[in-house]
Amino acid sequence: MGIFCKIAAMLGFGSTDKNEQESSPAEPEGKAAQSEQQSQQKTETVKPMVSSIKKYVLIGAGPASVRAAETLRKADAKCIITMIGLEKEAPYSRMALPYYLSGMIEDTGTHLRKTDNHFESLNIVHIRAKVEKVEPKQQQVTLENGDVFEYDKLMIATGSRPANSPFPGADNDGVVNCWTLEDGRKIIDSIKPGSKVALLGAGFVASIIIEPLIKRGADLTVMMGRTGQMVSRMMDETAGGMIKTWCESKGVTTILPSSIKSIEAGPALKRDDDSLTEFDLIIVATGVYSNIEFLEGTGIKTDAGVLVNAALRTNVRHIYAAGDVAQGVDFSTGSKVVHAIQPTAVDHGRIAAVNMMGGNSTYKGSLSMNVLDTAGLISTSFGSWGGVDGGETATLVDMDNFKYVRLNFKGDKLVGAITVGRTDYIGVMRGLIQSEVPLGEWKEKLIEDPTLLMNAYLAQSLDVARAS
């Protein structure tokens, strides 16, 4: 089992039971949408409202739509399920792209379902086309080629796309993103041992593709984020600094965005002193935007993404949103955020499907959860990783050996954590944060010695089990 699989298993990717509450029978959709009320009942039963054959349209063919389609089919053998994705591929996981780039898997290894006729066998129609228009009054969507699909319920799961390069010239040959399988193919075709590669960006995607790029033999230059840090949106300065130093120790050159003026033909980077540095490939990974533009004029409320309530409903009747495109409840803060991670997309897809069928499933919120393998250094952050107002923080830092633990408390509960260089606490940290277990006297012990995390977890879990 590879490190990624181990971490995924520890995190319970795809398993979400702690995170949600489901009940049936159905609550009227409009009422639930208005009140955002959360049922406390817990049952997995779904009773589809099948007075006639229902038509479900899912826009997008990523993890959120795939899980939604399968959930619909499991509960209703007769309904019509149409999943529309603009890429020409079989539904695949972007999360697997680093493994494809590193040569660990073929492109087919990224596919979300491995059997060739998986979707046909479930009678899930997969259309490869772009949706251009949604018309809520007519309950229909229109494709780029003019084809129209009517729906009883619609789910928007169009994910996001790479942000534009912060520098002019990104349309030059030899400049790519790393977002789609097609991008992955271009990167693989372009890099030979010794190729000079510039990676613009030091966020999540950039940091996890450094390892495969090095593996392919790239001579790598990485541009830091605006803060001069790596992964500043998911790690504190100590962790970001450690990851940067680690990359430099692996032969990666780091540069600051302020040192770049533009991307020129070649491709080349024009530096602040007007000198040109040529590369074989420039990869732009400077953030993402949600794919929401095609919803303009529909009345569907958007912000950074499509705004949804705890049931994944939008403000427009019969329309739901899920995955990276959805801006839903954050577990830690209760505010609405886009959590662009696959476990959230899968949870969203399933819960939206249950509700589209008339169930009453609510999502307690998505826990911010990041696991990075940057050139072989594993780092993680969970929940309120930067700490909370009035809270307390315990840290253990070993700069020389690239090891770091940070625990953030609110009262006697663990609300956020960061680790670098150790994977042994991942499941425990997630468990303690999500279960909101009071740590009692263990909090002080953890502030003294954060390595007692497992002992605290076992002791408190036993107390909870005894009390129940």
Q: Which of 77, 107, 70, 82 is nearest to 92 (CA)?
A: 107
Of 112-141, binders to ligand FAD (CB under 6 A) are 130-131
Paired with 378 in beta bridges are 373
Shortest distance in whole angstroms from residue 179 CB to ligand FAD? 5
Shortest distance in whole angstroms from residue 211 CB to ligand FAD? 12
Question: Which residue is nearest to ligand FAD, using beta carbons?
Answer: 323
Q: Taking CB under 6 A as the rule, does residue 97 contact ligand FAD?
A: yes
223: left (phi over 0), alpha (psi -120 to 50) or beta: beta
**Window 401-420: contact mask with ligand FAD (x via CB under 6 A):** --------------------
Q: Which stretch binds ligand FAD (CB under 6 A): 63-71, 118-126, 272-280, 351-359?
A: 63-71
Q: Which stretch binds ligand FAD (CB under 6 A): 56-64, 106-114, 168-176, 417-425?
A: 56-64
Of 208-247, binders to ligand FAD (CB under 6 A) are 208
Question: For 378-452, where are the alpha helices, taking DSSP H only?
Answer: 426-435, 442-448
Closer by beta carbon to ligand FAD, 80 or else 157: 157
Amino acid at 63: P
Q: State the Rg of the chain over Cα.
A: 23
Q: Taking CB under 6 A as the rule, does residue 178 contact ligand FAD?
A: yes
Of 341-370, binders to ligand FAD (CB under 6 A) are 341-343, 345
Q: Which stretch binds ligand FAD (CB under 6 A): 69-77, 81-89, 146-154, 418-426?
A: 81-89
Could you count the other beta carbons within 10 Å of the beta carbon of residue 448? 10
Helices 426-435 and 3-11 cross at an angle (nearest 10°) of: 20
Q: Which stretch binds ligand FAD (CB under 6 A): 60-68, 219-227, 257-265, 275-283?
A: 60-68
Shortest distance in whole angstroms from residue 383 CB to ligand FAD? 15
Q: Which of 351, 310, 257 is nearest to 68 (CA)?
A: 351
# of chain residues touching ligand FAD (CB under 6 A): 33
80: left (phi over 0), alpha (psi -120 to 50) or beta: beta
- Of all residues in the chain, what percent are helix, strand and coil, respectively (each to 5)? 30, 30, 40
Give how far Cα 91 sits from Cα of 25, 86, 125, 143, 263, Å. 31, 10, 12, 18, 33
Shortest distance in whole angstroms from residue 89 CB to ligand FAD? 8
Shortest distance in whole angstroms from residue 199 CB to ligand FAD? 12
Residues in contact with ligand FAD by the rule CB under 6 A = 59-65, 84-87, 94-95, 97-98, 130-131, 157-159, 178-179, 205, 208, 291, 294, 323-324, 340-343, 345
